[in-house]
Chains A and B, each alone.
Chain A
Amino acid sequence: MGMTMAEKIIAAAAGVESCKAGDIETVTLDRLMSNDGTTHLTIDMYNNLKNPRIADVSKLVWIIDHNIPSDSPKTAASHKKMRDFAREHGITFYEGEGVCHQVMMENHVRPGELIFGADSHTCAYGALGAFGTGVGCTDYLYAMVTGTSWLLVPETIKINLHGKLRDGVYARDLILTIIGQISANGANYKAMEFVGDGMASLSMADRIAICNLCVEAGAKTALMEVDDVALDYLKEHGREPKAIFKSDEDAVFSQVIDIDLAEIEPIVAKPHFVDSVVPVSECEGTKIDEAFLGSCNNGRIEDLRVGAAIIKGKHVADKVRFLVVPASRAVYKQALKEGLLDIFMEAGAMVMNPNCSVCWGACQGVIGEGETLISTGTRNFKGRAGHKDSFVYLASAATVTASAVRGYIVSAEKL
């Protein structure tokens, strides 16, 4: 019987010929990413181990991106603990360089790798044909100490993409539509694999946005075949694949979903669930207090170009804050070079340093009681962006920017 891409990556990492959904395999990890959301706790647990050691320090990547720059003495203490530990043990360490997943895509992820990240959006790495999955700090610590972990081999949902997205419709509209269709636990424990002729028209930025959000349907990982688009990206960033896998013709999928990309519409995900997806028109006119363009989902140069083209020569609406947060230093510098940051600044936006920003709701841009945010972030859970009684709508860079200009939710084509 044939194997899926997920099964092949796990089999390779487990050193076995084959495996199938439902098996439990002991795997050797290729890379272990951790950020400031939990690493201080991992370090405390490490220091309390009977015999603390690191299996292979070259596989560890630690990134401070959630609360950077630090917002309080408590955060500063947790950051210091992480920074000092990384230095002492020679761990690859980034601080202020960007959102962890963007930093990983730019600098580390290789096709065929099996990667644990102490962050749920680690599934983004599937855009380069790597099996990335989110874990908690205890799983992370176990893998850091032993170099291994155990994995339940997931079933795979195959998503066939056909055709092309229409102008003004983005990868983010697509993945949110899929999540709305299959629901917040529609892919729980499963891998989501994207294939089909529609892949050819999707850029790496699109692909990362799609894979990154699959955890919002509960997915364990997301995967895409490695094609020329992926290989060009790798080459541009000076890396080679570890291995290139693709699902066999006779692989078994738990579900197959066909999507005609031309039918996807601009959408928003309403508070407080990522799967509460409706056409933008249904929320048109909803007053906003803040707009956010950024995050590991939608803070890449392509997204900033979309926003800048919309807001050029216009101005952010009265009483609205518009936060523009490039996903990494590389994205920031490119946006600077292209004059995009000038456009945003002249339009009255606030351009922030690369970080998770209000997407994670604990550092900058936090919203107050009763306020509404429209965001290109990853989640719209109750209180996600600040006060427990506030509201977050998720939308594409185009819809977010158009709404920032108008002061209420509106699609870019109506601007």
Chain B
Amino acid sequence: MTDIFKLLRGTPEDPDYKKKGVIVQGITGAYGSLHAKNMIAYGTNIVAGVTPGKGGQKFEDKVPIYNTVKEAVDATGAKISIVFVPAKFFLGAAKEALEAGIKLLVAIPEHIPVRDTMEVLDLANKKGSVIIGPNTPGIMIPELIKIGIMPPTPFKAGKIAVLSKSGTLLYEISDALTNAGFGQSITIGIGGDPINGTRMIDAFEMVKDIPDLEGLVVVGEIGGDSEEILAQRIIDIGFKKPTVAYIAGRAAPKEKRMGHAGAIVMGTYGSAESKVSMFNKANIPVAKRPSQVPVLLAGKMQQSD
């Protein structure tokens, strides 16, 4: 299993402990440059940018830009990359990164064809790399490293892990958690696409053994069955940490794509009822609205005291 903390933070003997280098693919685009700046401001160690044809230039007079990921990796030794290229260029950009030795690839773009994602995952499997996304807000250890597009204000360092398909709901619910005194040890954006590089269940495996983990919050939405599979896994291994879920899309009509490519109910496959009933089976309360999440979490914690 991937040790995500080792990738994001490293171990104390690493020279770059707690300042792992990150490459930004598409750093000169409007979106890429905005978020590269925001990540730098948050304290993420952005060591290089990649934009074909702009090699040799510097981003913000500081960060060197390379023509290829390989050059960036060779020069910096970075193992992490975040991708901001338009959807139709994602396949090429991601393959290039994986071939160059990137071990953690955060795929921000939306509207990537499923086939391209599957091809990238196939290669990532062979290379032993982790993909977060696509269509994800990213991944972060609050107050240490942010690899994504999330605003900083909702998040605070702490001991709750948050897994979310949606970006804005991740912000909304983390904000509510923070205000209630629940900081986050890590937040992982699963993404809103039908096929996810890191599924709910994979993200759960990444966080379930965090030594001082005090709780888990799962933010799901209609479509697919990743929430059901996660709930089953929680039952199977007897995971005991206080866990609360939220599912968006209860009122959505069937067979309509609700904004996210993956948010669609086909027949009963992907319905909110199916997810809620599986969470109930796993004794995980499901919040009716985002603001209820910290309340239910506090309740769960009292029960386990």
Decide whether A and B assemble into one complex. Answer: no
A: residues with CB less than 8 A from B are none
B: residues with CB less than 8 A from A are none
